[in-house]
Amino acid sequence: MEYLKELANRAKLGNWDSWSPQYRVLAVVVGLLVAYWALRMTVPAVLRILRPFLFLAIVLAAVWALFPAETCSIEFLSKLPVLCAR
């Protein structure tokens, strides 16, 4: 972190208040582009990893919608207050 502060001091980038509006806009745009790129890279990978769990959750929701009493009779599901609150 100290290294980054030293680089900012060498570039005369002090704190945010000392930046000109052009540099602020540029920093925000670059930050948004980096965030967009990071999301495009990570979201598909996370969805690929979570796909089986999402499928199981959808199946469980469908079974619960059709047979709520039977679903709540399953021991580990009966402990979920949101699922079996009826």
String of DSSP letters for 15-32: SGGGS-HHHHHHHHHHHH
Domain count of the fold of the chain: 1
Place of tokens 């709540």: 72
Is 56 part of any domain? yes
Q: Which one is predicted more confidently, 10 or 41?
A: 41
DSSP 13: -
Is 83 part of any domain? no
* Structural domain that includes position 26: 19-78
* pLDDT mean over 8-19: 72
Contact 27, 21 (CB under 8 A): no
Is 2 part of any domain? no
Is 66 part of any domain? yes
pLDDT tens, 32-74?
Answer: 999 999 999 899 888 889 999 989 989 888 887 888 777 777 7
> What pLDDT is recorded for position 34?
94
Is 63 part of any domain? yes
Q: Which one is predicted more confidently, 52 or 10?
A: 52
